[in-house]
Amino acid sequence: MDASRDAFIRAMRHVACSVTVVTTDGPAGRHGATVSAFSSVSADPPTVLVCLRAGSRICEQVEANGVFTVNVLAEENRDVARAFTGEFDAARPDRFEGQQLIEMPGLAAGLGGATVFACRLAKSVVHGSHTIFFGQVAHAFTAERPPLTYHDGAYRRLQLTAA
């Protein structure tokens, strides 16, 4: 028996995750979107994946551009997360306006934050409502700052305590 869509969504609200913004740039244009479905895949070769809603602007542009950057936001980057959800698009249609960009030739710009993975598209797979993009990591770095997290419909800060 499969879980219902509503039960699945309710359960996923209780899974804490880092907040990421996926950016892309190239012949199809520059765009970025806040996403929650991001994971490491392999260290050999360094590979990550992101899941983007099939047919969305960011999905189509990542596919066409062949590059994307995963920006794991730092806990002080709530406004960046909100900007890339499209919340402010009516007043500020360029989501990159006012952002501190990290330019990487041949790759999509990074936004800084806690950790950045700049990738070349290795493979994409459509599953259900989303496209899974596998990116071979061309450049990775961390700012050693705590990540912004999302849990139960709200942005959160990690409370680091020894276990």
Question: pLDDT (tens digit, 9 = 90+) per residue, 60-101?
Answer: 999 999 999 999 999 999 999 999 998 888 888 899 998 989
Largest CA distance in the chain: 49
The answer to whether 88 touches 47, Cβ cutoff 8 Å, is: no
Question: pLDDT (tens digit, 9 = 90+) per residue, 28-63?
Answer: 999 999 998 999 999 999 999 999 999 999 999 999
Question: pLDDT (tens digit, 9 = 90+) per residue, 92-140?
Answer: 889 999 898 999 999 999 998 899 999 999 999 999 999 999 999 999 9
In which band, very low, low, confident or very high, does the pLDDT at 9 lie, cut at 50, 70 and 90? confident
What pLDDT score was predicted for residue 127?
Answer: 97
DSSP letters spanning the chain? -PPPHHHHHHHHTTS-EE-EEEEE-STT--EEEEE--EEEEEETTEEEEEEEETTSHHHHHHHHH-EEEEEE-BTT-HHHHHHTTTTTTTT---TTTT---B--TTSPPB--SSEEEEEEEEEEEEETTEEEEEEEEEEEEE---PBEEEETTEEEE------
Question: pLDDT (tens digit, 9 = 90+) per residue, 138-157?
Answer: 999 999 899 999 988 888 88
Closest CA to 101 of 10, 21, 5, 7: 21
Whole-number Å distance between alpha carbons of 119 and 96? 19
Q: Domains in the chain, ordered, with CATH?
A: 19-157 (2.30.110.10)
- CB neighbours (10 Å) of residue 13? 13
**Residues 6+ away with beta carbon under 8 Å from 66:** 26, 120, 121
Question: In the beta sheet, which residues pair with residue 18?
Answer: 149
Whole-number Å distance between alpha carbons of 19 and 115? 11
